[in-house]
Structure 1
Amino acid sequence: MNIAIERNVTEAPVYRSTVTPRVDATELNDAINPKAPSVYVDDEESKPVNSSAPAGVRKMEAITLVWTKPWMIAAYAFIWLIFFTDSLQQQSNYSWTPYVTSSFYLHGLTAITGVVANIVGGISKLPLARFIDVVGRPQGFLLMLIFVVLALVLMGVCQNVQTYAAAQVFYWTGMNGIAYVMNIFIADTSNMKNRAILFAFTTTPYISNTFAGPALGQAFLDHSTWRWGYGAFAIITPAMCVPFWTIFVIMMRRAKGQEIIVKEKSGRSAPQSGVFWLVEFDVVGLLLICGGFSLLLLPFSLAAYQGEGWGSPMIICMIVFGVVLLATFAVWEKYLAPKTFFPFYLLTNRSVVGACLLGGNLWISFYSYKMYFGSYLQVVFQLSVSKAGYITNIFNIVSCTWGPIVAIAARKTDRFKWALLVAFPVQVLMTGLMIHFRQPNTEIALLVMVEVFGAMCGAMFVMGEQLAAMNAVPHENVAVSLALLGMITSLGGSIGMAISGAIWTQTLPGKIEHYLPADMKNETANIYASLVTQLSYEWDSPVRQAIVSAYGDTQKLMVITGLVTLLPCIIWILMIKNFRLSEHKQTGGLVL
């Protein structure tokens, strides 16, 4: 959900900055905090760069000192290719997921496959931020690539929903991680006035893949299987990613050759290093928060599959243990953790807090009605997988087209908060209109119109959130600030998916049974369980019309929920300061 940007990177002015960032202890609030992330935790020390920065940041500063404009342009070209491949893969994945769950007769669990994946994928950005800061950007990029390839293989060979859901966790952790590392690379190599445009550059592949992704997804379903679709991307993805990683390695070797980076031994044994990194990345805190949110949110989708519903002992235990784990996490982070997982020092910054709450709140609203939209279009409007995909992906194509215009406007005005203030009332209006338009017999053009305006607002929101999170902190804290934004946003998405799954699983089966003819009511469970079964009934049949009516009633509840949860966003927007982009200091070296 980044914002689109110019295709030609060379159009942005290139200059060599001589500014070395300095951090005021009162500004960071954690300068003397013994629980803050270590500064000198790597085996290498950078001499000509900012010696107070973490080792990974110093390595990146060293790279910007030794590389040339052609290498930088090559790196940005490979970034575009990676995002092109990833976006094509994601769009195809969205098309396949309902058919994967339906193949195991659990179509109602479509949302649940994304709940834990969003939780872990979002929370993992904070330890990843620390990893790339204290170890290095290329190492973090390679680790995330391994996660993606492993996940694609698992999805291709899965024999049940549990394996598929586990693979989705690895998949979205890796995909979000790759995108995050490349966004940090852009932040490392650009000044703030150009950064919105360059961030938007990474999403331009969505313009074409909005059409190509669903078409590719349907081609695999028609002529092969979704399993081979995942298998194909398990080969294509690393082939596209390795060249970018290689540039990192070559530039790092050049910096070492010029003695900008001098390697020094840490003096730790292997067991000592293992314990050191477990503490440094606060693995206990990571497990507590992931487990807590997962156990708390999963029951919303699982309750309908238990005979006793919300009274089921399993559901009650999951909720209780989820609350206990989250409370334990708070105590651990506050009083017991040698190194804190959560960057509490950023919570004193109102703009960072406002940006994070805005991102999380928007995703709660968005995913409250988004998850089953593709199935709705196929059942209610008789659209094919590819055509339904075109509509569900309108957000991508419009936001990636509108994004460059907004980014250029922000560069010209030197401010960005105006975009948030304009987008909010329009988004509220569009969500309100969806309550009426997401019903059977609505002209599909009206649905498209609402999606288009919503996507334009989404582009403005995302740009504003990212710029607020980056402008509010010095450069060496940008990675953590963006990671915190990503974590809260993903948690919001997980909450939205849980709400969506709860409404769907608790409402749709009863509505189907209510509308079905009396002689077909005993087929409710089979019809509800599979999208393929729902689509198998003729359009004019009473059964198909019963399903259509049930979908319409359920979608209406989901959109009303999305509208109500959207309203607090105005509070978070007002919390964000109206920064001047030109006032933010940038690292030294060759930057755009």
Structure 2
Amino acid sequence: MADEKPAGVGESSRAPSSEAMDRPGTIPDDERPVTNGCDETQEGVKAIEAISMAWSKWGLIAAYFGIFLMAFTTSLEGQVTYSVVVFATSSFSSHSLVATVYVIQGVVNAVIKPPMAKIADVFGRLEAFTICIILYVLGYIQMAASANVQTFAAAQIFYSAGSTGLQILQQVFIADTSDMTNRALFSSLPDTPFLVTTWIGSIIGGAIVASSTWRWAYGIWAIILPVVFLPLALTLLLNGRRAKRMGLRPEKRRFIDGGPFVVAAKVWNQLDIGGIVLLSAAFALLLVPLTLTKTTPGGWQSPTIIALIVVGGVLLIAFPLWEGSKKLAPHPLIPLELLKSRTFCAGCAVGFFYFLVFYLSVQPYFYSYLLVVQHQSVAAAGHITQTFSFSSTVTSIVVSLMIKYTRHYKYFVTSGSLIYLLGVGLMIRYRTEDASVGSLVGTQIAVGIGGGMLNVPAQLGVQASASHQQVAAATAVFLTVVEIGGAVGAAISGAVWTQLIPYKLSNYLPADLASQAHTIFGDVNVASDYTTYPPGSPARIAINKSYQETMHTLLMIAVVLCAPLVLLSFLMRNYKLDAVKQGVKGKVIGGNADTDEQKVDVGISHT
């Protein structure tokens, strides 16, 4: 923002001039980075600033190596477990509940990001990373040892909390240690492992299922992940001690002063635990019941389902009222000041619809569709499905390099939205029973290119509208809204799938096989058994027709909900990124030497 300091919240209420609106990179008063409403930099932020001022070139390189190592491990884990989750739920005769698993993941992924960002701001980055690793491992162990689908689904709480916590913390760390023009490129770093893991993950998963049990596909990561976390942990720990020796970081933290009740009250306020509880409960009560209507007596008329949705709605309304109260939430989980920025709001909405459509068109049932209708092997189905991850990762890296040299991001968000919409539309035409593998892969590539062009740039635009104190919260809110979109998409998918598949199977199966409809619906192994239900048989025709028609319905919903992306992209302001200053202290990649952001040249950035 040129050489001016970020304006405070509410400092100017005048409308921006038309001249300012038309000049790319010129930021009107109402679009300047917002600051913490309490005008206080929290101690976790001070700690990372102190560590940043103590970085050496090789220390920063080591930290990024640690980030990449963890990203590679979690990426591989995600690909392996994705290929076995349908076998895990089917082993409990509950294949249809795969959507419920994804909804639970989505809800936890959504609500954990702001509190994890808060923990990082209050306690520190290392402490937050450590909590995530512990949660991740607990989730692995519980899933591997689960005796029923309820235990398996409950394990998603720990697993998703750890997984999404690492995701947000990686992005926060990158925001701490890079300037705006280089941030898109380095924000893509955690995604680069997909270039490899996409192709080997499903092979490993298939091999584990064939030679052992799906449980081992979860259990091995409880050993591997803590080991690969050590390089980053040691780097942050040693540089934190170095910062203390240099007098850059205080020995004692203020919020731990006082008696137990005083400390508890400070932690409550600093983390906004009341807001965490309200937000978590609201989304859980609203989204999870959508996938359970088929298995709950009475369905939509069930008093339990109605009560859960009503209470969830009330809590969702209460959440912004809580957050807006300085007395109840002096350090709000989601600073409402951010909502004054048009770019921030539009960017978050882009993320919401992007993931909403993804969980209607690709996840969670495309994999099952490939196994059943297309008669693909486990490895082939995984490769086709994960073509999206590969193409979106390649695209995001290319786009990030282009952003680095063009200094603008908005063009890519708009172009990506159009390509994403085109790709989803092509799925309706080419995702049919008689489609070739090339057609199926081609549509995955199209949506992957679109997604890669809009996701990271949209996050960058959201971050550009925040100060350093707010950047963790802004990033957390963006990724929260993205996950909420995914949870809503998974909930809609689950509701459509659980309503239509059993209904269609009952109608299409021959009379002598109608009693098997529930078994076929509940177990993907049965539905994809071409020996029992060979090609051309009435049963196979009925099964494939049920799956095909249901998939078509999901894609029709997806293309309608994809259209708002294009309009929202136009609402984002076209910042000139090298003019954006967030007040980041210490050494950052690409920082300007004449500011408080000291440049670190790691052989990639030359600004």
Q: TM-score, normalised by structure 1?
A: 0.91
Moved more, 475-484 or 498-507: 475-484
CA contact (8 A) 2:394 2:452 kept: no
| Equivalent residue runs for 1:129-278 within 5 Å | 129-264=117-252, 266=254, 267-278=257-268
Q: 1:141-180 CA distances to partner (integer Å, 9 max, x unpaired)?
A: 1111111001000101011112111111221111111121
Q: 1:234-253 CA distances to partner (integer Å, 9 max, x unpaired)?
A: 10011111221111000000
Q: 1:119-146 CA distances to partner (integer Å, 9 max, x unpaired)?
A: 1222211111122112211111111111
**1:38 Cα deviation from its structure 2 partner:** 5.8
The corresponding residue for 2:539 is 543
CA contact (8 A) 2:108 2:161 kept: yes
Q: 1:503-539 CA distances to partner (integer Å, 9 max, x unpaired)?
A: 1000011111222111101111111111111122343
**Structure 1 residues 124 and 28 mapped into 2: Cα distance closer, same or farther (>3 Å)?**
farther
**Structure 1 residues 192 and 411 mapped into 2: Cα distance closer, same or farther (>3 Å)?**
same
CA distance in 2, matches of 1:153, 1:300: 28
**1:295 Cα deviation from its structure 2 partner:** 1.4
What SS does structure 1 have at the residue aligned with 2:587?
strand
CA distance in 2, matches of 1:445, 1:175: 33
The corresponding residue for 1:337 is 328
2:290 is equivalent to residue 307 of structure 1: no
CA contact (8 A) 1:118 1:169 kept: no
2:14 is equivalent to residue 24 of structure 1: no
**Quick one: which amino acid aligns to residue 314 of structure 1?**
T
**1:181 Cα deviation from its structure 2 partner:** 1.0
The corresponding residue for 1:430 is 423
The corresponding residue for 2:501 is 508
Identify which of 107, 114, 139 aligns with 1:119. Answer: 107
The corresponding residue for 2:456 is 463
The corresponding residue for 1:499 is 492
**Quick one: which amino acid aligns to residue 387 of structure 1?**
A
**1:256 Cα deviation from its structure 2 partner:** 0.4
**Quick one: which amino acid aligns to residue 560 of structure 1?**
M
**Structure 1 residues 338 and 418 mapped into 2: Cα distance closer, same or farther (>3 Å)?**
closer
**1:334 Cα deviation from its structure 2 partner:** 3.5
CA distance in 2, matches of 1:220, 1:264: 48
What SS does structure 2 have at the residue aligned with 1:590?
strand
Q: 1:371-394 CA distances to partner (integer Å, 9 max, x unpaired)?
A: 101010011111111110111111
**Structure 1 residues 321 and 26 mapped into 2: Cα distance closer, same or farther (>3 Å)?**
closer
Q: 1:458-516 CA distances to partner (integer Å, 9 max, x unpaired)?
A: 01111221110111122221111100101111111110000000110000111112221
**1:37 Cα deviation from its structure 2 partner:** 6.9
2:393 is equivalent to residue 397 of structure 1: no
Q: 1:532-585 CA distances to partner (integer Å, 9 max, x unpaired)?
A: 111223432322221111110000000000011111112321221000110112
CA distance in 2, matches of 1:471, 1:319: 36
Moved more, 300-309 or 240-249: 300-309
The corresponding residue for 2:592 is none
Q: 1:308-356 CA distances to partner (integer Å, 9 max, x unpaired)?
A: 2211222122222222222333433334624333211100011111110
**1:27 Cα deviation from its structure 2 partner:** 6.4
The corresponding residue for 1:366 is 358
CA contact (8 A) 1:20 1:588 kept: no
Q: 1:74-108 CA distances to partner (integer Å, 9 max, x unpaired)?
A: 11112111111000001111111111111111111
The corresponding residue for 1:349 is 341
**Quick one: which amino acid aligns to residue 171 of structure 1?**
Y
CA contact (8 A) 1:150 1:170 kept: yes
**1:204 Cα deviation from its structure 2 partner:** 1.0
Moved more, 528-537 or 203-212: 528-537
What SS does structure 2 have at the residue aligned with 1:153?
helix
2:90 is equivalent to residue 102 of structure 1: yes
CA contact (8 A) 1:37 1:130 kept: no
**Structure 1 residues 28 and 519 mapped into 2: Cα distance closer, same or farther (>3 Å)?**
farther
CA contact (8 A) 1:127 1:341 kept: yes
CA contact (8 A) 1:114 1:165 kept: no
What SS does structure 2 have at the residue aligned with 1:466?
helix
**Structure 1 residues 27 and 387 mapped into 2: Cα distance closer, same or farther (>3 Å)?**
farther
The corresponding residue for 1:588 is 585
Q: TM-score, normalised by structure 2?
A: 0.89
**Structure 1 residues 102 and 21 mapped into 2: Cα distance closer, same or farther (>3 Å)?**
farther
The corresponding residue for 1:286 is 276
Identify which of 553, 567, 574 aligns with 1:557. Answer: 553
| Equivalent residue runs for 1:45-64 within 5 Å | 53-64=41-52
What SS does structure 1 have at the residue aligned with 2:191?
coil
What SS does structure 2 have at the residue aligned with 1:259?
coil
CA distance in 2, matches of 1:104, 1:205: 32
Give me the CA root mean square deviation.
Answer: 2.0
Q: 1:425-480 CA distances to partner (integer Å, 9 max, x unpaired)?
A: 22222211211222211112111111101101101111221110111122221111
What SS does structure 2 have at the residue aligned with 1:342?
coil
**Structure 1 residues 189 and 27 mapped into 2: Cα distance closer, same or farther (>3 Å)?**
farther
CA contact (8 A) 1:295 1:318 kept: yes
> What's the % identity of the aligned pairs?
33
**Structure 1 residues 28 and 121 mapped into 2: Cα distance closer, same or farther (>3 Å)?**
farther
**Quick one: which amino acid aligns to residue 573 of structure 1?**
S
CA contact (8 A) 2:135 2:158 kept: yes
What SS does structure 2 have at the residue aligned with 1:304?
coil
Q: 1:266-316 CA distances to partner (integer Å, 9 max, x unpaired)?
A: 331233212321232222221122112211122221111123221122212
**Quick one: which amino acid aligns to residue 137 of structure 1?**
R
**Structure 1 residues 398 and 28 mapped into 2: Cα distance closer, same or farther (>3 Å)?**
farther
What SS does structure 2 have at the residue aligned with 1:263?
coil
**Quick one: which amino acid aligns to residue 7 of structure 2?**
D
**Structure 1 residues 22 and 164 mapped into 2: Cα distance closer, same or farther (>3 Å)?**
farther
The corresponding residue for 2:574 is 578
**1:265 Cα deviation from its structure 2 partner:** 5.6
CA distance in 1, matches of 2:45, 2:177: 12
CA distance in 2, matches of 1:186, 1:285: 26
CA distance in 1, matches of 2:329, 2:196: 47
CA distance in 1, matches of 2:555, 2:574: 31
**Structure 1 residues 331 and 466 mapped into 2: Cα distance closer, same or farther (>3 Å)?**
closer
CA contact (8 A) 1:365 1:563 kept: yes
**Structure 1 residues 338 and 397 mapped into 2: Cα distance closer, same or farther (>3 Å)?**
closer
Aligned residues: 558
**Quick one: which amino acid aligns to residue 468 of structure 1?**
G
**Structure 1 residues 28 and 161 mapped into 2: Cα distance closer, same or farther (>3 Å)?**
farther
CA contact (8 A) 1:539 1:545 kept: no
Higher relative contact order (CA 8 A, sep 6+): 1
CA contact (8 A) 1:21 1:474 kept: no
What SS does structure 2 have at the residue aligned with 1:297?
helix
**Quick one: which amino acid aligns to residue 576 of structure 2?**
R
